[in-house]
Structure 1
Amino acid sequence: MKITEKSFWEQYWGEILLPQKVNFSFKNDRVIAETILKFVPKVDNDQKALEIGCAPGKWLTLVYENLNYDIDGFEYVDVAAEKTKENFKLCHIPENRFNVITADFLTQSPDPKYDLVMSFGFIEHFENYDDIYQKHIQYCKKNGYVVTGFPNFRGINYYLQLFIDRISGSSIIKNHNIKMMDKVLMEKMIKSSKKELVYLDYIGGFEPALFNINKVENIFLRFILKVSSKALSIIFSNIKNKYISSYLIFVVKND
């Protein structure tokens, strides 16, 4: 069952600016990209990657440019799909190397299967996250890889985002399955699927960019939040645990 309504994504992706690529000077992008490039092998021609919930396409662009995959993406919101196609063109990816499918991947038959299946900020929008993970596996070829990452709104991040939601009218906490953002829970889920766990950990330390502080209209509160989050990022920049880190990511091999 989806937690986040389609209208939320229509508004969100309608406001995105292009082009979008992984920014290695931005810590959150960098640590996610480094994890992908470390644990997912570079391939020869004619091997394909799929990203579920692919807009705006920066992670597919990364694996195209660095790992040589042809790239496909699923988006169930029209504006998000169009933004992704536009982004690929702006990133000079040939049209015969990418495809964006406008559909709900949960209703689709997992064919063709892929050498790499990814999602970032997707699985945590469902109550039945374990079923969503299994669907990722179904799209993946034998000996292929599944990479799944999502923000960590537990610990200090939960209370900070809950406060921002209350004073700004945003609904980030409401739109995420907070309970599943847990390394131990993910390890149990992967173990039960009998797939090879390649990597699983919290990454990134405390990350101010996890929070949209600019949504806070009160100037004084916005200033306090920016100063506080900057201080926390200095103190906890490299702390990796469930109470501090901005992100949780795992890599599974479909052996």
Structure 2
Amino acid sequence: MSNLLTDRQFWVDYWESKTGLSVNIPADYLFHKELASIIKTQNVKTAIELGGFPGYYAVFLKKYFKLDVTLLDYFVHQPVTNALLKANNLTENDIHIIETDLFNHNEQQQYDLVLSCGLIEHFNDTKDIIQRHIHFLKPGGTLLITLPNFKALNGWFQKSFDKDNYDKHNISCMDPQLLAGICAEAGLEVVQAKYFGHFSLWLENEKQKPAGVRILKKSLWLAGKVFTKVFPFNSRQLSPYIILEARKLYR
């Protein structure tokens, strides 16, 4: 079985279907507190975002923390990234871009922070893709991986109303303890591995879905938000994300 659950054409089609990609990234962008804490406590100066086109987190890290940032993905459409940079008052020179297949990339440079958001779940071999993250990590550096939790209600919604997208994800890797175990086995110190966020639902290309699906999604989203406003907690059943933070020890 191939390690990849997607191919290049999937991502070309995916990004070509999107509009409004060049947005102004806010200071309270998702996971901003976690990133701010890592950067402050670990004195982060360099970072790489893996699989992050068009580069939202790379832009976030440059814009608000002035890091030396690299974006690596095997599909990069430069005009989109340039427009994103411009929308955030940055220039083409503010972010290093590497367009390459992660599995054929032999660069030896290492970084204080290695970040991916929504990448590892597109591979069958979770241990292997995490090891490829660790390859970029300096001793003492921090690994931050986030991914969707399709074992939650959001996953049922995806499976029921967007099966093609659901099938592009490795559901078995959506387990904080599994991810923590892989990092520990690789010699990293696990800082946190947990379900993250109280509740959310989403659909890719939602406007193209039937009206009934969109109404159901809106109703469930509202009910879930109200419930978790009253009873705020992270859980496997409701939390939309998983977050893993680990540190590479000095040897």
TM-score range, shorter chain: 0.7 to 0.9
Q: 1:13 Cα deviation (Å)?
A: 1.7
Contact 1:84 1:100 in 2 (8 A): no
From 232, 248, 253, the counterpart of 2:224 = 232
Residue 60 of structure 1 corresponds to which residue in structure 2? 58
Q: Which residue of 2 aligns with 1:220?
A: 212
* Aligned residues of 1:74 and 1:103 also touching (Cα < 8 A): yes
**Match of residue 22, structure 2, among 4, 7, 19:** 19
Helix, strand or coil for the counterpart of 2:162? helix
- The 5 A counterparts of 1:87-166 are 87-165=84-162
TM superposition shift of 1:218: 2.6
Cα distance change on mapping 1:20 and 1:106 into 2, 3 Å: farther
Task: Return structure 1 stretches of 4+ with deviation > 4 angstroms.
Answer: 42-45
Contact kept? 1:51, 1:118, Cα under 8 Å: yes
Contact 2:63 2:88 in 1 (8 A): no
Measure the CA separation in 1 of the matches of 2:160 and 2:146: 24
Q: Please give the TM-score of this superposition, normalised by the length of structure 2.
A: 0.87
Counterpart in the other structure of 1:179: 172
Tell me, yes or no, if structure 1 residue 251 matches structure 2 residue 245: yes
Three-state SS of the structure 1 residue aligned to 2:234 is coil
> 1:201, 1:249 within 8 Å by CA — same for their partners in 2?
yes
Asked whether the equivalents of residues 21 and 61 of structure 1 are also in contact (C-alpha less than 8 Å), the reply is: no
Q: Is residue 115–residue 141 contact of structure 1 (8 Å, CA) maintained in 2?
A: yes
Alignment check: 8 A CA contact 2:195 2:236 kept: yes
Change in Cα spacing, 1:144 to 1:85, as seen in structure 2 (3 Å) is farther
SS of match in other structure, 2:223: helix
Residues in 2 aligned to 1:148 and 1:42: alpha-carbon distance in whole angstroms: 18
For residues 107-142 of structure 1, what are the alpha-carbon distances to aligned partners after superposition, in whole Å with 9 as ceiling and x for unaligned?
Answer: 111321112111000011000111111111111111
CA RMSD between the two structures: 2.3
* Superposition TM-score, scaled by structure 1 size: 0.86
Query: Structure 1: which 5+ runs fail to align?
Result: none
In structure 2, the partner of 1:4 is 6
Which amino acid in 1 is paired with 2:211? I
Residues 42-77 of structure 1, C-alpha deviations (whole Å, 9 max, x = no match): 7879x3211111212121122223332111111211
Deviation of 1:17 (Å): 1.9
Q: Paired residue for 1:37?
A: 36
Q: Distance in 2 between matches of 1:18 and 1:213?
A: 13
Offset of residue 185 of structure 1? 0.9
Inter-partner Cα distance in structure 2 for 1:253 and 1:115? 10
Amino acid at match of 1:136: H
Shift of 1:241: 1.3
Q: Secondary structure of 1:83's partner?
A: helix
How far residue 213 of structure 1 moved from its aligned partner, in angstroms, is 7.2
CA separation of 1:11 and 1:183: change in aligned 2, threshold 3 A: same
